Amino acid sequence: MSLTGLNFYSYLSRIRILKSYSSKIMLVAFLGTHVPLIALLLFFVLSTAQDIETGLKILAIALVATLVGTFATLLALHKLLAPVVLTSKSLNRYLTEREIPNLPVGFQDEAGSLMADTVTTVRKLDELIHYMANYDGLSGLPNRDLFLEKLTSSLSELASREEVLSFPVLSLEVTHLKQIRSNFGLHLGDLYLRALSQKLETLLGPDTIIARTGDGEFSFFPTTSSSQVQESYSEAWAERIHEAASSQLNVADHQISSEIKIGISVFPFDGKSSDQLLWKSETALNQAKMGAISKIQTYSSEWKERMKEKYLLEKDLRLAIPRNQLFLHYQPRVDMRTGRTVSAEALLRWNHPDLGIVSPSIFIPIAEESGFIAEMGEWVIYKALEDMGNWKKKGLPHTRVSVNLSAKQLDDPNITKKILQTIEKNDLNMEDVELEITESCLITNMHSALEILGELHSWGIPIALDDFGTGYSSLSYLSKIPLKTLKVDQSFIRKILTDPNSLAISKTIIALGKSLGLRITAEGVETEEQLRKVKDLGCDEVQGFYFSRPVSLEDLEKFVSN
Ligand code: C2E
Ligand code: CA
Ligand code: CA
């Protein structure tokens, strides 16, 4: 571009006090508007024919007129210069703060197009810079940096929703990329990657974020707000992607396919940050690449089970009490000698709206981990004792109710008070209730657990040690707990006739319990042979499917009455 037009401007630029563009224009305007006045002044000085009075009048009028005119001109010019000044400031702000200029675009003259063109140019430039920094030129997909950025924002969005959710991050690699390149050439190799990326994009749809995270590697995750999250739990999802990615693609009239491996990591089990999740899905991918058989590898193997059981259920479990989805079943415990039902164990049930009845062995650990077990356990105490109160009022044969206590409940310093109040409220006696604890209740806080158990015992509430033999079975504490009953775990009873070890352990447990003066209950007795065996070994009570499965309160009534 020719710079000849800039001579005058560059001359003025050399004058120090005229640093800003406006000041140059102002000076010129000022001088320009003062020419008539100066001319008049000169004329007045040079001429001698005038009478002084008239001359002074004219001069004063001219002076005032010039000042007013100058002021108005300067003001107008200042306003007219606004587009230039604004554009310059906006550009400066873009350079320093990356703020896209927001200038008016409707004006038709040069100043108008200066503003409009500035906006358009900067926007395009910015998009280009963003694209170059965040996208992969070959596939047009986000690159690794942008992938991590999107994953991070998805994670923080999830955190803000306080929702319990889990989702997988998958890394997929074309393991034969080298061979493809050497067989078909670099160009076709690139075209193949482009075709594959398009295929994946179409297959995954808009609810999945996909990126090219390596040379032959693509990574993706379902956006957490989408329904894809649910689908992605299934193994079928990864299988389907694998199948599509490994199928033949038509690339410039060549049929090209490659072996594909997929690695999976799962939020939150395998990590809670985007770096960890991508790193672990790539670690799993590398494991898959090393193995000849597995085409899809998860970072931790139990993820599916854990995900389904834990993270989906935990969300619903919070609502189980308010939505009245919990109820109790009772399983009778029968006295060996008399054949009468001595007690009934309250076993919690959850009627899940979609899954049906969920086993407590699935949801109790979840409730324990997430802390709702305390609330849930209180509900069980409240409900079981209420049922037993009504049972008594009906004059049914005396049966004690057994309630399972979890470790967390023994952390509650008010637990004794709560139990005593509920007993009183339902007109029950202390010995109408029994509490079942496991060895794990004592592990975390032995001291306070023993204190609470001592309290309960001193009030006359019997305590049973459940699942005995499976836990940490330290004999030293056994004598310290104020126990009435020892329940031999069902895993021993199940194998008591077939496995000599189980028989030996059962015998030892029974002998130990007897020597401590405890009543012995055999759990999980299913057959007549097992019943005979535990009777021979000296068990006092039996609980198991042989007599009854856990049943509703009404069915328990029938069982006891027969
Ligand atoms: P648990 O306290 O050992 O309860 C006995 C479990 O063994 C029950 O399973 C019962 O259905 C099952 N069972 C009884 N007899 C037999 C038999 O002859 N054969 C077989 N195969 N199984 C038998 P359930 O009801 O699924 O409960 C599982 C566990 O869930 C319970 O084990 C207990 O640890 C926990 N649980 C249940 N309700 C509560 C509760 O209200 N609070 C707490 N903290 N835990 C509970
Ligand atoms: Ca139990
Ligand atoms: Ca048990």
CA-based nearest residue to 484, from 450, 418, 438, 436? 436
In DSSP notation, 361-414 reads HHHHHHHHHHTTHHHHHHHHHHHHHHHHHHHHHTTPPP-EEEEE--GGGGG-TT
Token couple for 541: 């009570």
pLDDT for residue 277: 95
89 shares its domain with 187: no
Residue whose structure tokens are 């963003």: 130
Q: Is the CB of 265 under 6 A from ligand 1?
A: no
Whether 454 maps to a domain, the answer reads yes
Cα–ligand 3 centroid distance for 488 (angstroms) = 8
Kindly report, residue by residue over 64-95, the tens digit of the pLDDT: 888 898 899 889 988 999 999 999 999 999 99
Residues near 272 by Cβ (< 8 Å), separated by ≥ 6?
Answer: 155
Residues facing 488 on adjacent strands: 468, 522
Decide if 368 contacts 376 (C-beta within 8 A): no
Residues, the chain: 562
pLDDT for residue 453: 94
207 shares its domain with 103: no
Cα–ligand 2 centroid distance for 313 (angstroms) = 22
Decide if 261 contacts 285 (C-beta within 8 A): yes
Q: Which CATH number characterizes residue 284's domain?
A: 3.30.70.270
pTM of the predicted protein model: 0.55
Class of residue 161 by CB neighbours under 10 A (exposed 0-12, middle 13-18, buried 19+): exposed
Token couple for 529: 């042979």
Q: Which CATH number characterizes residue 474's domain?
A: 3.20.20.450
How many CB atoms are closer than 10 A to CB 84?
A: 16
Cα–ligand 2 centroid distance for 312 (angstroms) = 26
pLDDT for residue 394: 94
CA-based nearest residue to 224, from 208, 211, 236? 208
Cα–ligand 1 centroid distance for 361 (angstroms) = 7
Decide if 363 contacts 401 (C-beta within 8 A): no
462 shares its domain with 517: yes
How far is residue 513's CA from residue 483's CA, in Å, rounded to a whole number? 10
CA-based nearest residue to 378, from 333, 325, 421? 421
Token couple for 259: 């072996």
Whether 206 maps to a domain, the answer reads yes
Cα–ligand 2 centroid distance for 558 (angstroms) = 22
286 shares its domain with 425: no
pLDDT for residue 299: 84
117 shares its domain with 151: no
Strands 356-358 and 341-352: antiparallel
Whether 326 maps to a domain, the answer reads no
What total of structural domains would you count in the chain? 3
Whether 314 maps to a domain, the answer reads no
CA-based nearest residue to 216, from 196, 199, 242? 196
Scored b (16 or more CB within 10 A) or e, 375-394 reads ebbbbbbbbbbebbbebbee
203 shares its domain with 224: yes
Kindly report, residue by residue over 415-450, the tens digit of the pLDDT: 999 999 999 999 999 999 999 999 878 776 788 889
125 shares its domain with 192: no
Decide if 197 contacts 140 (C-beta within 8 A): yes
DSSP conformational letter for 356: E
Q: Is the CB of 542 under 6 A from ligand 1?
A: no
Scored b (16 or more CB within 10 A) or e, 447-459 reads eebbebbebbbee
Decide if 434 contacts 405 (C-beta within 8 A): no
Of 84, 104, 131, the residue at which a domain comes to its end is: 131
Decide if 437 contacts 453 (C-beta within 8 A): yes
Whether 139 maps to a domain, the answer reads no
222 shares its domain with 98: no
Q: Which residue's C-alpha comes closest to atom 22 of ligand 1? A: 524
List, as ranges, residues with CB under 5 A of the ion ligand 3: 466-467, 523
pLDDT for residue 241: 93
Q: Which residue's C-alpha comes closest to atom 21 of ligand 1? A: 524
pLDDT for residue 26: 86
148 shares its domain with 126: no
Mutate to test the pocket of ligand 1, among 404, 419, 534 (most ligand atoms within 8 A of CB): 404
123 shares its domain with 151: no
Of 131, 161, 194, the residue at which a domain comes to its end is: 131
Whether 526 maps to a domain, the answer reads yes
How far is residue 201's CA from residue 194's CA, in Å, rounded to a whole number? 11
CA-based nearest residue to 375, from 345, 350, 401, 412? 412
List, as ranges, residues with CB under 5 A of the ion ligand 2: 404, 436, 466
* Closest ligand 1 atom, residue 373 Cα: 44
Structural domain for 185, as ranges: 144-299
465 shares its domain with 493: yes
Q: Is the CB of 332 under 6 A from ligand 1?
A: no
Whether 68 maps to a domain, the answer reads yes
How far is residue 194's CA from residue 175's CA, in Å, rounded to a whole number? 16
Of 102, 131, 160, the residue at which a domain comes to its end is: 131
| Collapsed DSSP state (helix, strand, coil) of residue 49 | coil
Whether 310 maps to a domain, the answer reads no
pLDDT for residue 225: 65
pLDDT for residue 145: 94
How far is residue 311's CA from residue 102's CA, in Å, rounded to a whole number? 46
User: 43 phi and psi, to 5 degrees?
Assistant: -60, -45
Decide if 228 contacts 205 (C-beta within 8 A): yes
Q: Is the CB of 474 under 6 A from ligand 1?
A: no
Regions of the chain where pLDDT drops below 50: none
Q: Is the CB of 404 under 6 A from ligand 1?
A: yes
How far is residue 102's CA from residue 104's CA, in Å, rounded to a whole number? 7
Cα–ligand 3 centroid distance for 377 (angstroms) = 16
Kindly report, residue by residue over 137-173, the tens digit of the pLDDT: 999 999 999 999 999 999 988 887 766 577 889 999 9
Token couple for 561: 């009455």
480 shares its domain with 556: yes
Cα–ligand 2 centroid distance for 322 (angstroms) = 25
pLDDT for residue 38: 84
